[in-house]
Chain A
């Protein structure tokens, strides 16, 4: 008798969507994620709910999926969206004839576009290149990945499923008949091992799907495509801006809360954990960014990061092609048929925009094999938190704070307007959160200053809760978390270390090391009730 019907591997958007769909169809399911939910590609992506227009010319199938799912997500998850709208713009460097192919291709793929005059565009987006000569508006939006994943997991839990973070799959156990019998798991923080018996496994490990399939002895050729993005220190445009051209580097600018994100490159890498950003990538992005917003390269880049596209190497795809040319449409791989491992499916490729559709098609296959006839309802039922049908807007948090009576003394993070009350609430709900988990949950430190000082305040808050005995036993050490954050901040800035950003980093380092001697705080003590250590009390 299996413990559960299905184990889902991977807590990105796809895995969370699969878990919700399984649970809504009445299957007993558990999801395991090796780190925090949304710490893989879903948390390191560009932030765009695609209209589909980007793919109409080269990958109409993808375009159609995106257009359809764009409408679905607006319906089921408005709270995760800022409805920025988007533009496709032709700069003097873009091909003259692309629009002639673009417009009919949009019509064919069901992607709505409206031509706008360059004058009207520049009125709405004054920082854009004044030599833009053609523009179309589309239904792009800014999509908050962690909220979306949390909402899917919350819905799944409400339907009886479980989701465990910091739990890594170490082996997929198969029986004599070659069918999946269970999984071996290891808890990341305690190293504790456990085995779960199950009838099926869904591999939703994104760019890591090849590694996961190998844990069952199956071969799944992945071609992780690394993409780098630059976080600019302010919001340069209020809508998403795409180049009216075949996909290239640095050709999309997405407004995300208080900042703008420019991306992306595409470089095939052997290891999906290799997400270092190189100087060449930064240069290429900035050069292209200048074509959209002249002078962009002179403004401050506050962070560079990269993620890996979960691209799948189909045997029939010409290996010589650049990875951007591979269809990004997704594939559900039945390892029973392919490798004789019954009960194992991998879902690879796709986009965040199409996560739900990918989940639906995967669960159709799994449910069918398990003899469950229930139909998919994930496109109809609104996600938790989105019941009111409202999407968020820049300034919402400030407005909420003002509505409470104003005063900003309680703010921990000035850039993203996060109060200590919000952090306390998050820690009450998830007492074992790390600083990084708090970042994903609240956007702590994700604004223009990138956590220069709010991280320190958050560490103090963690420590105070520890002192009051409010944290779980698995609570991470606030000192270790702070030190890791600061070291990463120095090293992680390498690729964007110039100009004001480098000066800022130097001033911060001066305060942390010179004034606070932060390097001398050790592992945090097990604080007692009042902040005083028991051994030092008289």
Chain B
């Protein structure tokens, strides 16, 4: 029967960050996750915060930290170290990112021709952050038959947009790439795997180059420049085409998958144990604390005991919160109290602007990330909550989802690392004794 120092439930950005912090500090940590959740859907950049006004992520995060109940109110101190650690780990994993907390937030184009601000992007996307030269145009190159990159549509929208400091002109082209005509279910992953093949991509570059008109262009392409050999594909793309950057679109998101895979590899390399595919099916409690979890491994229930548990289940999108008919929310692993606006207000607000009120729902925690009930009392002593499972933010409008995931994961690792290991061991002992008797 496995027993660990810590068990992390959830394998997204926050869970992997907490797991990495623990594993790197030498703890015996296991990570259980039902599935991939957000990572296959997100753009792959790292959003710390954006108020629309602030010049850097650090400034925007500081503003959010002053909002009562916002996760940054307790996480602000962890942010610089959390970001630095994440960038270091990603570079070590061969997926370097550019930018940082104090880097300026720059306007970048999206695959539908919208604009958002970003300051930390993977190298595959980061070229878009460079200032636009006076004679430099943006060329969007779509791929024939790949349905979810709309070069013409995006170009028309971008040309009509207010884009401060943007390119001199926007142009669209669509290229036919070899061998796609007969493929079914042409997702970005399929194309990315083709790019991984050096022989195939040698035939692709000239076709793309042909679509580039005379003049000076920076080229936006679908986010398909390789999966396992991305760094190699990217370097070759720059050699063959000049400045080029990826633009993520509808799922599955190749940059999101690369990010997830990179952290996952680091986690395992640091000695962490990873089990993806298993949801938590049961909880064993003892005296105000959690003793063990039960998972449905290969159909057979398996007991996983630990001294401390980190809940990183990602809120409504990740599966950590579940809506019930009639306007209630439940926390899916421990049944923790959920802090939520009343159901009649869930969908008030602008769905595409500020977002709807329901976005704020989640688990309320204290500065030690322990879950609280409505009266502000700690509900479970040895459970820490991180990432999008936390209440009080609107990660899409505030663009703070990744920053909160990193900072809370980092803080969880730190808290468990210092104070908790001792308690953890005692709890484990109690549990074992209980089971043995």
Contacts and interface: CB of A to CB of B under 8 A. Distances in A.
Contacts of A410: 145
Contact of A409 (B159, B181, B352, B399): B181
Interface string B310-343: 0000011101001111110000000000000000
B181 A491 contact: no
B399 to A, nearest CB: 8
Given A512-B352, A516-B112, A531 B152 contact: yes
Given A453-B148, A464-B152, A532-B159, A516 B114 contact: yes
B41 interface: yes
A293 to B, nearest CB: 17
Contacts of A538: 168-169, 215
Interface stretch (A101-109, A429-437, A499-507): A499-507
Interface in A199-245: none
A519 B114 contact: yes
Contacts of A32: none
Contacts of A407: 181-184
Interface string A397-416: 00000000011111110000
B425 interface: no
Contacts of B248: 515
A463 B323 contact: no
Interface string A449-490: 000010011011001101100000000001100010011011
Nearest to B114: A517
A514 interface: yes
Contacts of A517: 110, 112, 114-116
How many residues of A sit at the interface, in one of the four size bands? Answer: 35 or more
B160 A524 contact: yes
> By CB atoms of chain A within 10 A, which of B116, B147, B249, B350 has the most?
B147
B370 interface: no
A148 B380 CA distance: 61
A302 to B, nearest CB: 14
Tell me what chain B mostly uses at the interface: helix, strand, loop, or mixed. loop
B155 A531 contact: yes
A537 B169 CA distance: 6
A459 B153 CA distance: 8
Contacts of B186: 409
Contact of B185 (A408, A498, A532): A408
B157 A524 contact: yes
B326 A483 contact: no
A512 B116 CA distance: 12
B406 interface: no
B22 to A, nearest CB: 27
Nearest to B147: A457
A511 B251 contact: yes
B41 A533 contact: no
Nearest to A535: B159
Interface in B105-145: 110-116, 145
Interface residues of B, number: 68
B152 A511 contact: no
A286 B324 CA distance: 13
A491 B352 CA distance: 11
A522 interface: yes
Given A487-B351, A519-B352, A510 B152 contact: no
A282 interface: yes
Contacts of B396: 509-510, 513-514
Given A453-B148, A457-B147, A507-B317, A532 B169 contact: yes
Given A410-B145, A509-B351, A499 B323 contact: yes
B145 to A, nearest CB: 4
Nearest to A457: B147
Contacts of B251: 507, 511
A483 B396 CA distance: 16
Contacts of A412: 147
A352 B185 CA distance: 39
Contacts of A516: 110-112, 114, 249
5 contacts: A487-B350, A509-B351, A510-B38, A518-B352, A538-B215
State the 3 A-B residue pairs at the shortest beta-carbon distance, nearest first: A525-B160, A533-B159, A517-B114
Interface of A: 279, 282-283, 286, 297, 406-412, 453, 456-457, 459-460, 463-464, 466-467, 478-479, 483, 486-487, 489-491, 494, 497-499, 502-503, 506-507, 509-525, 527, 530-533, 535-538
Interface of B: 38, 41-43, 47, 110-116, 145-148, 150-153, 155-157, 159-161, 168-172, 180-186, 215, 248-251, 253, 315-317, 319, 322-327, 346-347, 350-353, 355-356, 358, 395-397, 399, 401
Given A460-B150, A460-B153, A510-B38, 19 more contacts: A407-B184, A408-B184, A409-B183, A463-B156, A464-B153, A478-B153, A490-B351, A490-B352, A503-B322, A506-B315, A509-B396, A510-B41, A511-B41, A515-B42, A517-B110, A519-B352, A520-B114, A520-B115, A531-B156
